[in-house]
Amino acid sequence: MSSSSRPTSTGRFELHVLSDLTHLAISQKGNEQCLLLNRNAATTGAGVVLEDVSELNHAQGRSLTFDAIFGIYTLLRGRYLALVTGSRSVGKFKVRGADVEVRQVTAIEMVLLPTQQLPHLTPAQVEDEERYMAMITTDVEAQLLYFAFEYDLTHTLQRITTSLSPTVSIAERADPRFCWNYAACSFLLEKKLFAWVVPIMQGYVEVCKHVSIADNKATFDLLYISRRSCRRQGTRFTMRGIDSEGNVANFVETEQALLFADGRETSFVQIRGSIPVVWSSPATLKYAPKVFQRAQADTDTAAFQLHAEELMKLYGRVILVNLIDKKTEQLKLGEAFEKTFGHASTLNTHILANIRYVWFDFHHECRRMQYANLGKLISQVDDDFQDYGYFSKSASGQVTSTQSGVVRTNCMDNLDRTNVVQSLFARRSLLLQVGESVQGNVLTSPFESFEKTFKNLWGNNADAISLLYAGTGALKTDFTRTGKRTTRGALMDGYNSVLRYILNNFYDGTRQDAMDLLLLRYVPSRHKASPFGSSASSMQSYLIGAMGTTVVLFTGLVAWDGFDVLFAFNRLLHATGAVVAVVVLAFGYFVRKGSDLAIANRPLFRPEDGCATTWK
């Protein structure tokens, strides 16, 4: 068992090594049975059975407490059991009369299962194994993974109340779109061992207690849950657009729930996702990489139809709000989206009747800080938006209204512009839920204390979703948090833009690989060549080459003029300066024009799946 400093665990589960060393037993508080795993079973599922807790009498002294089973991963040495061994509480609330605690995963440990016939690994394979394990266990807290023992975080309040049986276990009814350990726990789910699976979602959760619109109004707990889909998930330049099954990159469902002290509950849901046509923009060091489209109308339309049908099935009617620019490459992409929607609507009358498309050029309309122009967008969609409504349940448990439609918002990355617009819809719905007027200024409300809380929550949510996709906090969050753009906010946007550039070009390929490994989209094999073999041909090799050039220049200059310490040091400075100047000039060129050289950090595990693909 790998270990470092012991993280905090609730101790809900405990792993025991049995005396024969060939079996592991997992016990659970309040459960009279234990889960028995044959460490040397030919297949994962075949080696899992339930036994009476008395089996633990044969356990050795070694044990490990943990919070959840993340799943089983097959690496080069064999199968590993991944366990959530650390978590922290991020919020508590009461829903449906029950107390709920949401916890964030802070540590994952890997336990090697097989004890017999372990394969011999070459030194290179041992190094690869360590890299695979680090991808799963390192920097876990930054992955923003959440779980709750007694509440289904993967479903909205409306789905839980109106569509799901309360007698069915949380794991059995978990939404596979948002359950990040669903695939890795399939060995338990397929055997219907639902009591041993704790669904884990990625995204953001925050609870703000005792919120009120005004002093004379009822108080409520304000709950935000953003659920990030595990289908076609990735990072900014490595995963774009739609796949053949209708899944889009960076799909996020955000729920805003009001939980009143008297037992009333209301919630409002909206979604975001990548532009639903087949496109890519692989990192090339250019600040805004070129956009590539497959430009096959039939392919785009078929994929979009699948996406649209799923949205209608899950959410009802849909408003597609497209915020990208009506110029340059964004114009071409927006036209492709518009054309695809038009084709799908003519082929499917259900789409025509239930989905509406609105293209609002955010940057043009809000140029020179004219954010009040966002009122134009609200006016365009407000009748439908208010008609869609929100979910509400009375204190007695009776459903009094349901949300019959959803707003799906996108920009290029579905981050900064999307965050601003989604915050407007969220405020508007919240005011309706508490019976306040939504007339007047769409950018704020007259309730100062509430506004501070609301904007701070939305800023936190925006930063979290941006961190997962782009690697930094969101841009324009000064507007999200204050309702106006500020000089400090503009400076922070500049800083985050530079940081995004560095992360997206030099780290995101590795982040994408880690995500593919975690979600079992990539399974390592001893019988295949190492995927890391070509990784040294990226930025590292160019930096090494630059240093080598410096040494060569320095040596040549010294050899030319004879050796003298002070003179040699001066020559070294000149040589270094010359190389730095060349590197800076080259880097400036790449930022403007991009490069076809293998400089940017691209995914190694599944390069064909994301945005390494370009279409002419």
HSE (side-chain half, CA atoms, 13 Å) at 290? 14
Q: Name the token pair of 184.
A: 């890795």
Instruction: Output the CA torsion sign for 403, 408, 413, 416.
Output: negative
Distance CA 193, CA 189 (A): 6
Distance CA 199, CA 177 (A): 11
Contacts of 452 (CB under 8 A, 6+ apart): none
| Dihedral pair phi/psi, residue 230, rounded to 5° | -95, 0
Q: Which of 340, 229, 335 lies closest to 277 in space, CA to CA? A: 340
Contacts of 598 (CB under 8 A, 6+ apart): 534, 537, 538
Distance CA 226, CA 256 (A): 9
Burial (CB < 10 A; 0-12, 13-18, 19+), residue 440, is: exposed
Amino acid at 232: R
Residue recorded with tokens 């579905």: 414
Distance CA 60, CA 46 (A): 24
Contact 250, 227 (CB under 8 A): no
Which residues does residue 52 pair with via DSSP β-bridges, in sequence order?
A: 33
Question: What pLDDT does 2 receive?
Answer: 44
Q: Chain-centre distance of CA 224, in angstroms?
A: 15
Could you write out the DSSP letters of every residue in 508-551?
A: HHHHHHHHHHHTTS----TTS--GGGGGGGTHHHHHHHHHHHHH
Question: What pLDDT does 52 receive?
Answer: 77
Distance CA 337, CA 87 (A): 41
* Helix, strand, or coil (residue 359): strand
Q: Cα 438–443–448 angle (5° rounding)?
A: 80
Could you write out the DSSP letters of every residue in 395-437?
A: TTS-EEE---EEEEEE-SSSSHHHHHHHHHHHHHHHHHHTT--
HSE (side-chain half, CA atoms, 13 Å) at 180? 25
Tens digit of pLDDT for each residue in 576-598? 666 556 555 554 555 555 555 55
Q: Cα 457–504–609 angle (5° rounding)?
A: 100
Contact 150, 100 (CB under 8 A): yes
Contact 34, 26 (CB under 8 A): yes
Please identify every stretch of the chain with a pLDDT value under 50, giving residue numbers as ranges: 1-4, 535-537, 541, 587, 615-616
Alpha helical stretches, state H, 17-151: 123-137
Contact 225, 204 (CB under 8 A): yes
Distance CA 244, CA 502 (A): 31
